[in-house]
Amino acid sequence: MGNCAVKKNAPKTVSPIVPLIKSQTNPFLRNRAASLTSLGGLFEEEMQLSPAAQQKARKKRGSYQKGNTMAPTEASNAIIKDVPKTTQDKKEIRAALGRHFIFQSLSEDNIEAVISHMKLYVLEPQQVIYSRGGAATHFFTISKGRCEVVEKGIQKGVLGKGSSFGEMALMQECERTSTVRSIDKVMLWGIDRHSFRNAIESINAQRYNENKQFIESVPLLQNLNKGQQEALLAVLTHQEFEPGRRVVTEGDPGSLFYIIKDGLVNCTIKGKLIRQMSRGDYFGEQALLYNSLRTATITVVTKATLLSLGRDDLTRALGNQLQKIIYKNSQRIALEASPVLKNLTKAQEEDIVSKMKCKSFETNDVVIPRGTPRGQKLWIVVKGNLITEQSRKRFNALSCIGDIELGAPPEGVYEENLRADGNVDIEEMSRQEFESCIGGQLSRVSSRNEILSIMRNVQLLKALPFKKLESLVNKVYIREFRNQEVIFYENAPGDAFYIVKEGKVDIVKNNAVIRTIGQHDYFGERSIILKEKRTATVRANGPVHVWVLSKEDFLSLVNEGIRIMLLKRIELQDDKITLKDLHIVKLLGKGMFGNVFLAVHKVTRLPYAIKTISRDKIRAYDLYSSLLLERHILLQTDHPLIMKLVKTFKDHERIYFLQEYVQGKDLFDVLREIGIMNDANAKFYISCILTILEHMHERDIIYRDLKPENIVIDEEGYPKLIDFGTAKVVQGRTYTIVGTPHYMAPEVITGKGYGVSADYWCLGVMAYEFICGIVPFGDSDEEPYKIYEKILQNRLAFPQKINKSLKTIKIIEVLLDKDPAPRSSTEIIKGHNYFNSVNWDSILSKQIKAPYIPGIPSIANEIFQAMRNKQTLTAFISQEEARDSLEVPKRGKPPEPGWDDPF
């Protein structure tokens, strides 16, 4: 019995207009009722729409976040006992749990933990256990007696021994849809949501951390990157073995690799004990690399827990060439550790890694003969060690040989043989091949890459496609200035952008030095985009060398579309703006915790969205950490397809977020307007959203509620992510149930812990919508319990009418794999051949024509009319707050001193 009511949620959008949909046959015109109350999104904007538009918008699906808005009042008349459970008690409880999908996906130790946390509730006859409309907090199973289910005063059923009820409370906060009360004296085993989630989380978090440490300790797997390790952690299996049990037998075929987590095992060959192995040891690694027979027998001495990884699981997670993956990772590590190669770009590094050739050597083989010319080859040791013949100098795995000589003209020879010390694998490449990969001589390319890395950190240039930046670097030249020589004067025309290569320069205004900048700092960048005069004089503070990029060269390589995009980014970087500079135009939306307004700069007339949260609500709902987290996340994200935070403010009344104003339609409405997509259009939106997720995941940010309602299609037809109320910084895994039921990944629902894989599942649900017009699981369901059950238990299937040859189906099958391993990183997803034709730089610079351009009405007249209104910003906001329907309770957690300093 999933006793939770569906609460309708307000629509979420920053779009000023939500058009009415005319077509009644469009597949997107279906019931998308809000499944759950959105409790934590700080800005759930509810538009002031016409009645028809409100009716349409109410069909959007709301999100769920963990909160604490309902007081636990269930079984309040019960005598609660924390008593030991008999074997029979545990058997009966286990049988009751087995009837619910929530528990079916839990491991044995998870089940044991749940049972151990259950307490005995004793109630007299005719006692209410919970009431319709009350807060759902507990799950119960009947040990003795009977209970009745009552709806609107009518008995709907009788529950006896072994029956259970209230399971949905373990998933999330919701309201009970019926009343349950005792008929006789009853004894119930019960557990509350908090205890249930803590029991699951503590075990799974401990297991995850232990497994991660084990993975990192195995030499075979040490060089896997974070995404690859996460993929393996998702497919590792726990196995328990009793003493005397054989794990593997000599001569048998094998496909499993084992790591010992606990216990002791014997390793024997032909009956002879070779060694004993214990915690942290591993065996069977050859099974992952080759289809070979077991070379020894492993027998358990004491009860043992082993982690196992099968070749099939490995293939699902990483592909079928583990050794190749490990060697490529080893090459990358060696290149990045080299003092002369560490400044190579990612593209140059990948080109080298893909083109190096591997050679194998046995003990004492000569790898590099005496007399070999220096500077003609690059070698990387990926397995084993090399040692020089006379001086006994050792080169370990991950060492580069010949890298230093590549940075200078070829000169001299190797004076000693370098021999293999054991079995050795070497990756090698000729100088000619190396220079072909990096695009020229190493010394010149390194200098160019140094400029490139600096330019990539220039705020103005961050949004430029990488290839455009590379082209600009080729136009950069060096100029020298003597001590006190003026580089340019205040009020002079801006004609170039400068980066300090060596030395220092002074920034001077009104004959006073306002600051001094040094190596790798830059100045004059706004002049290459804006037609403005210099705002200060810059002069050399001692001898100085600067890199120079002229305005003409910049504009010759950047088209008008990119220039306009950069101009918009400049407009969003005004850190001098204050609340007094802003005039409120109108209310955009109202949410549970805050309001969103359209504001305009009094001088520039640039529009902004300003979100406001009163300090009374911050205190009442304990929003301190949520606001700080949201600010932190928004400041970390700087991407053309993510709504940008301009600045935050505070005063005695409230906290303010000043953000980019995004005009457009939310993707939910666009989908209903354009209908089912073809392959090309679906790929455009999937690729755009993938770049957004990649940007966030690189910063350890998980979004957790990706869906069409949280994406606006802007005036250029590109998707833009707008709402960060559910986002979280996660290193490793998190366990909170957050999101919208139809879009939740299996690992989120089960509480086993999740990372970025959950976001890629959401993307898969959206991709399915693009080509099918419905969500893949529970499309016609509103009750969360039914939706979750279908996500966990139903197989992925496509409607009969869908063309099965669509290429988008292949990427959907990866994104909606119930096993998170195939969707555990951006690297794995982007490596799918579905994306082979995608030009990622063109997406970031918005150079690809979008499939759909929304019609956006001008707001110029609204701004003009608003500017004539003399009402102040704070008065306008206070007036709207007075109309809020939600009464702010007087309770609340008082703030800690200085909590709002970052604002």
Binding site, annotated residues for ATP? 611
d(CA 618, CA 346): 44
- Which has the closest alpha carbon to 62: 29, 40, 85? 40
Amino acid, res. 469: L
Structure tokens at 589: 């939306």
Q: Are 494 and 528 in contact (CB under 8 A)?
A: yes
Structure tokens at 753: 């812990």
- Which has the closest alpha carbon to 742: 718, 709, 715? 709
Give me the catalytic one of 705, 714, 759, 781. 705
- The DSSP letter of residue 275 is E
d(CA 107, CA 200): 10
Pairing of strands 512-517, 418-430: unpaired
- Which has the closest alpha carbon to 850: 561, 466, 570? 561
Amino acid, res. 169: A
Between the alpha carbon of residue 61 and those of residues 426, 747, 763, 778, 781, the distances in Å are: 55, 20, 16, 12, 11
- Which has the closest alpha carbon to 412: 442, 377, 372? 372
- CA-based R_g, the chain, Å: 32
Q: Angle at Cα 86 formed by Cα 81 and Cα 91, nearest 5°?
A: 110
Strand partners, 547: 478, 499
Structure tokens at 212: 């991660």
* 714 part of the active site: no
**Helices (runs of H) and strands (runs of E) counted in the chain:** 28, 41
Strand partners, 150: 155, 179
Alpha helices by DSSP H, listed for 241-340, are 286-289, 311-318, 322-337
Please tell me whether residue 423 adopts helix, strand or coil conformation.
strand
Residue partners of 453: CB distance under 8 A and separation at least 6? 343
- Which has the closest alpha carbon to 666: 64, 59, 65? 59
d(CA 102, CA 107): 11
Quick one: 677 exposed, middle or buried, by C-beta within 10 A (0-12, 13-18, 19+)?
buried
Residue partners of 531: CB distance under 8 A and separation at least 6? none
Q: Are 645 and 635 in contact (CB under 8 A)?
A: yes
**Which residue matches tokens 């120079």?**
548
**What percentage of the chain's residues is helix, strand, coil (to nearest 5)?**
35, 25, 40
DSSP 649-678: EE-SSEEEEEEE---EEEHHHHHHHH-S--
d(CA 503, CA 540): 8
Please tell me whether residue 144 adopts helix, strand or coil conformation.
strand
Alpha helices by DSSP H, listed for 58-192, are 87-97, 101-104, 108-117
Alpha helices by DSSP H, listed for 218-272, are 226-235
Count CA atoms within 13 Å of residue 805 on its CB side: 0
Catalytic residues, by residue number, are 705
